[in-house]
Amino acid sequence: MTHDGSKRRQFQLHWGSGTIAEEAKHEGVRHLPTIQLLEFEDGSVSLRFCHYSHSGRFQRSPLIVDEADINGLKEALEDTPRLKSLMERLVG
């Protein structure tokens, strides 16, 4: 399950706000592990590693990705070119 930015959602953090430009999400057994490309109003970008409950509620706990979810997240990244590029820089 992916979000390509066509329905941008807003976010608000203590140090700034902006929109979720791209999102790679996988429906796992326990939750929906998610990687987001955040675009801040000042033009900077960041990666957020997070997860949602199966009912769609944002979870404020550490992201733990089950080994069984890795391939699903990898597939989800195929629809998020900017996010995928940053992830490649992270591991390359």
Number of domains composing the chain = 1
pTM of the model: 0.87
For the chain, 92 residues long, give each residue's pLDDT as a single digit of tens. 334 444 679 999 999 999 999 999 999 999 999 999 999 999 999 999 999 999 999 998 999 999 999 999 999 999 999 999 999 999 98
What is the domain extent for residue 61? 2-91
Q: How many CB atoms lie within 10 A of CB 51?
A: 23
70-78, long-range: CB < 8 A, 24+ apart: 72/26, 72/27, 72/28, 73/24, 73/26, 73/33, 73/35, 75/26, 76/1, 76/2, 76/24, 76/25, 76/26, 77/2, 77/24, 77/35, 78/2
